Amino acid sequence: MNYDSVEILLVEDNINDAELTIRELKKHHMANNLFHVKDGEEALEFIFATGRYANSRNVMSSPKVVLLDIQMPKVNGIEVLEKVKADERTRATPIVILTSSKEDPDIKTCYALGANSYIVKPVNFEGFAESIRNLGFYWLLINQPPK
């Protein structure tokens, strides 16, 4: 896979959630250039082209959107968000927070750190599928990324 052509970077430790997300996007032909990493550490390596992804991708070729879960082992979503938004090279990358709970006290923190969107994944499948579908349409087709 050519990492520089990745349009959606899915950062999700829960493989079931990841599968449901990918399935919904696939259904609407939006998962062709999707790449899934399973924790924050790998996400940072991917975005900043370090570690496992050193020399295999260019930092400047930003994905169209990063779907970021908050609760993850090792490096959590908030830390990833903070690092991406703090770096000149990656600041423009749109980040959509995907989390399980509207109780999240992190909503404010995430927006303050520059999250572009904050989406609560509903339990019911129809709602969940709709959210994923909509955000895929929006960030891949409607939104105009910086050139």
Partner 1 sequence: MLVTCISFFAYEFYVFRKTTTEKLSTIGKIISTNSTAALAFDDSENAKEILAALKAEPHIVAAALYNKDGELFSKYSADRRDTNFFPKKPQQDGYRYIRSHIDGFEPILQDERRLGTLYLRSDLGGMYDRFRVFGVVAILVIFLSFILAYLLSMILQKSISKPILTLSETAKVISNQKDYSVRAVKSGNDEVGGLTNAFNNMLEEIEKQNKTLSEFNKNLEQKVSDRTEQLETVNKELESFSYSISHDLRAPLRGVVGFAAILEEDYGNKLDDEGKRIISVIKNNTLKMGRLIDDLLTFSRMSRQDIMRTNIATNKMVRDVIEDLVPGDKKPAIHWDIQNLPDLKGDINAIRQVWVNLISNAVKYSATKKQPQIEIGSFKSNGQTVLYIKDNGVGFDEKYKNKLFQVFQRLHSEQDFEGTGIGLAIIKKIISKHGGHVWAEGEKDKGACFSFSLSDNENI
Q: Do the Cβ atoms of 73 and 43 come closer than 8 Å?
A: no
The string of DSSP codes covering 33-98 is TEEEESSHHHHHHHHTT-GGGTTTS-TTS--SEEEEESS-SSS-HHHHHHHHHHSTTTTTS-EEEE
Q: Closer to partner 1 at the Cβ: 88 or 126?
A: 126
Residue 128 amino acid letter: F
By beta-carbon proximity to partner 1, the closer residue of 50 and 101 is 101
CB of 116 to partner 1, least distance (A): 21
Shortest spacing between CB 114 and partner 1, in angstroms: 22
How many angstroms separate the CA atoms of 112 and 26, rounded?
A: 32
As measured in angstroms, the least distance from the Cβ of 32 to partner 1 is 20
Q: From the CB of 130, what's the least distance to partner 1, in Å?
A: 12
* Complex with partner 1: residue 6 or 70, whichever CB lies closer: 70
Q: Which is nearer to partner 1, 129 or 140 (CB)?
A: 129
- What residues make contact with partner 1 under the rule CB under 8 A? 14, 16-17, 20, 23, 71, 99-105, 121-126, 128-129
Question: What backbone torsions phi and psi does residue 68 show, to the nearest 5 degrees?
Answer: -120, 120
Min separation Cβ 101 and partner 1, Å: 4
- Indicate the Cα dihedral angle 17, 20, 21, 26, nearest 10°: 160
Q: Which is nearer to partner 1, 122 or 145 (CB)?
A: 122
